[in-house]
Amino acid sequence: MTGGDPPEGEADWPVGLRGVTESVVTTLGPNDRWNVAALGIHASDSSVGDDAATTARTYGRTRTFRNFSERGGGYVQFTRDPVDFVEAALAVREVDDPVLPSADAWARVTVERREATTEGDTQVVTWTLAPVERSVEHETVPTTNRGYYAVVEATVAASRLDVASYDTATLRERLAYFESVVETCGGEREQRAFDRLDDLVDWRD
């Protein structure tokens, strides 16, 4: 635990958040295994005063939605492993332990349902996230690899292929572009991640 052990309910995030930070979340399912999913963390906005909060959204009746609703929390993790991110975003993956080996940092959070809206036929629920425990597992020097970020963007495009409000042809063009970036700029792990995306998603014409 970094910075000492804060009292229950008073932990901070283990990393700085700005805009939307992509993370991996594990939530405990009814089978007592931890479901792994991708989760975008929306940083709190101090300009809104007392209403400021760190939030995340679930789309539809996903396992994360169910487990947030029934368990009231989970583990938000920050990982640089592109294969773990693809698995979280596109596969159904369950693990025995809540923290992935690839996590550089994590926070155990409680969640509270904030509001619900709809996008087309999909219910979108916004949750307030409050960290109650945190840990930094690995301190690293940040680097920028276009292949890694292309993998992250590819998972977003792939997850929207079956959503009626998005144009399938445009999404396929984006995926083809991201694949070319991974081939040119990515390392072995990024290329393996895109191969896994190919296994999980039928996006080619």
d(CA 172, CA 156): 12
Q: Domain 20-136 sits in which CATH superfamily?
A: Electron Transport, Fmn-binding Protein; Chain A (2.30.110.10)
The predicted-structure confidence for 50-98, as pLDDT tens digits, reads as follows 556 999 999 999 999 999 999 999 999 999 999 999 999 999 999 999 9
- Residues 118 and 40: their CA atoms lie apart, in Å, by 18
The domain limits of the chain are 20-136, 146-200
Give 142's pLDDT tier (boundaries 50, 70, 90): confident
Question: Residue 113 and residue 193: Cα distance in Å, rounded?
Answer: 33
Contacts of 183 (CB under 8 A, 6+ apart): 191
- Residue 203, sorted as left (phi over 0), alpha (psi -120 to 50) or beta, turns out to be alpha
pLDDT of residue 51: 58
User: What pLDDT does residue 120 have?
Assistant: 83
Average model confidence (pLDDT) across the chain: 92
Which pair of tokens denotes residue 79? 């990982």
The CATH label, of 3.90.850.10, 3.40.50.10140, 3.90.180.10, 1.20.58.290, for the domain at 146-200 is 1.20.58.290
pLDDT greater than 70 at residue 107: yes
CA dihedral 63, 8, 76, 2 (to 10 degrees): -160
Largest CA distance in the chain: 54
Closest of 79, 138, 133, 72 to residue 108, by C-alpha: 133
Give the per-residue pLDDT at 154: 98
* Residues contacting 109, CB < 8 A, separation 6+: 73, 74, 75, 76, 129, 130, 131, 132
Question: Mean pLDDT lowest for which of 3-17, 79-93, 124-138, 147-161?
Answer: 3-17
* β-strand partners of 122: 119
Asked whether this chain's domains 20-136 and 146-200 adopt the same fold, the reply is no
* pLDDT value for 6: 42
